[in-house]
A and B are shown apart, each in its own frame.
Chain A
Amino acid sequence: MIRCINRLEEFQQGSLIVDGIEMIEDVKNIEAIRRDVGMVFQHFNLFPHLTILENLCLGPIWVQKKPKAEARDIAMKYLERVKIPEQANKYPGQLSGGQQQRVAIARSLCMNPNIMLFDEPTSALDPEMIKEVLDVMIELAEEGMTMLCVTHEMGFAKKVADRVIFMDGGEIVEQNTPHEFFENPQVDRTKTFLDQILNH
């Protein structure tokens, strides 16, 4: 579902309204939407031929047409927010998975998005590195960033989410507040799911 919001994939049925614009086949709208929607991928997708700093400056310079110095300041600001400013001049391959994912988060933040999409941001990471990425996300949530996050980290969802949506086979099965969702699931499919993951 989140890949439909910035139209990396097309949906088959129904309609989708993002930021007051209906997502139909209209290229101009899509680029406007993508500018305001940040996205973090499962496999980071940093640009391997650019340094961390260049990765971060790319959007501000080329899409938002900001001067280079300003883009650099923005990039450093967000790099500090994800706590790795010392890595600015390295290449992505020299960083650990958790650091790369934090850079990816900073890259989206540089575009000053209205909403951020996370596509299983921790499922390609070592268990130890998951925490550092989740910590950054929790901070963001506390600062009031709107985030839509696909995750298998139930503890994280329970703690941070305002609303939990449970999907299966491409359809929404149940949505509720985290408390209600985890303590008092309504649908059978949700119950079996929670049983499966909580009992081991």
Chain B
Amino acid sequence: MKTFEPAPSRPAPKMTAGIIAWVKNNLFSSIPNTITTIFILVLLANVLPGIFDWLFYSANWSGETQDDCVKDGACWVFISAWSQQFFYGSYPTEEIWRVNLCLILLIITLLGSFFVKKGLREKVFVPLFLALPFISILILDGSWIGLEQVTTDYWGGFSLNIFLAAASIIVAFPLGFIWALGRRSSMPMARSISIILIEFFRGVPVLALFFMGSVMLPLFFPEGTNVDKLLRVWIVLTLFMAGYMAEVYRGGFNAIPAGQYEAADSLGLGYWQKTLLIILPQVIKISMPNILATFIMLFKNTSFLMIIGIFEILSTTQAALSNSYWLGGHAQEGYLFVAGLFWTVCFSMSVIAASIERKLNTEHRKELLSAALPVPASQP
């Protein structure tokens, strides 16, 4: 009788996990790879210490005036001394709480519109969100609600960038949807007007639109009325944004299966019921990632406002740079700070966008797929 003899054990597998294995597989897997890796390491070793030294080690962190910047590195004193200007422009110091209040309201309603339970969301947060630009204007200006009036000349800084971007997109949200509906409409009039509007505001550079806004918009208002500069900018940004949003929505419309329209029709729902109850919620869900991407684009575009003399953060920075007490050439710190600020906000929006997307995925993508791609027919 033959006895069972186990086969000889195989050698342990090559290391495939862990840091060393990763480095070996990804950085030194071949000779050209190794050379590239070493080259990049040498380059970084030459550049990084200088940058870090300037940014942190030799930087000047504390002080009040330019004279406190004695070391060679960055003069962050410049930023801290001007920080109020950077964020709030020339808004009166004792009234700054109004700006903060609006910012907090914005964040609360924004988060509430996405993360709160459905009933509360639709009844409270979404209407509040849509009304927010007007509420904010009341609070910031103050003259209508019994606070001291702060005219728009004093609004400025990074908060203005945020407010303008938010106010434009909030109004562009429904406006773009109406344009997108118009574009799909079978009525020739509504259709052509929508197409002209969408293509115009998408086809003209935003900077040209700003100039046209300051020059041409007054022509549409009655003679003698002096329309506020910020209001004009807001209108231009909104229309510009609505053009883009309309196209984003169009993609969403196209993704909705025809069966949804037929089902709504066969229930006897009217056009607006069908559009608002069935189509709109699904379109917004599908388009949400693109809407947020468009919003980030718009937010960055607000820095163009410097050119037409709005005191948003970039023009505030330039004003600070040319201040006679700070003529020491702090442009590097200033612009780096502005870039960092924009990057931080845009990056956090990307993160929020990703989490909203994930949430929508788990909630509804499955259903959407099941409606769009039914089980293939199987004949008995």
* Chain A residues proximal to chain B, CB less than 8 Å: 6, 8, 31, 34-35, 37-39, 41-49, 58-59, 62-63, 91-94, 97, 100, 107-108, 111, 123-127, 130, 152-153
Contacts and interface: CB of A to CB of B under 8 A. Distances in A.
A34 B278 contact: no
Interface of B: 257, 259-260, 262-270, 273, 277-278, 281-282, 285, 363-364, 366-371, 374-380
B265 A34 contact: yes
Contacts of A92: 367, 370-371
B367 to A, nearest CB: 3
Contact of A93 (B267, B369, B380): B369
Nearest to A130: B380
Nearest to A60: B267
Nearest to A92: B367
Contacts of A127: 378, 380
Contacts of B270: 31
Of A39, A42, A47, A63, the most chain B CB neighbours within 10 A belong to: A47
A62 B363 CA distance: 25
Nearest to B369: A93
Contacts of A59: 267-269
A58 B277 contact: yes
A43 B378 contact: no
- Mostly, the B contact residues are helix
A-B pairs with lowest CB-CB distance, top 4: A93-B367, A48-B367, A45-B263, A39-B266
Given A34-B265, A44-B374, 4 more contacts: A34-B267, A42-B374, A63-B268, A127-B380
A157 to B, nearest CB: 13
B367 A58 contact: no
Contacts of B278: 47
Contact of B371 (A44, A58, A152): A44
B262 A45 contact: yes
A127 B379 CA distance: 8
Contact of B375 (A47, A97, A153): A97
A173 to B, nearest CB: 21
A56 B200 CA distance: 43
Contacts of A42: 374
Contacts of A63: 267-269, 273
A37 B265 CA distance: 11
A93 B364 CA distance: 8
A93 B370 contact: yes
B374 A37 contact: no
A34 B266 contact: yes
B380 A6 contact: no
Nearest to A7: B265
B371 A43 contact: yes
Given A6-B266, A41-B263, A62 B367 contact: no
Given A47-B278, A48-B368, A62-B277, A126 B378 contact: yes
Nearest to B276: A62
30 contacts: A6-B265, A6-B266, A8-B265, A34-B267, A35-B268, A38-B266, A39-B263, A42-B374, A43-B371, A44-B259, A45-B260, A45-B262, A46-B263, A48-B364, A48-B368, A48-B370, A58-B269, A59-B267, A59-B269, A63-B268, A63-B269, A91-B364, A92-B371, A93-B364, A93-B369, A93-B370, A93-B371, A108-B266, A111-B268, A124-B377
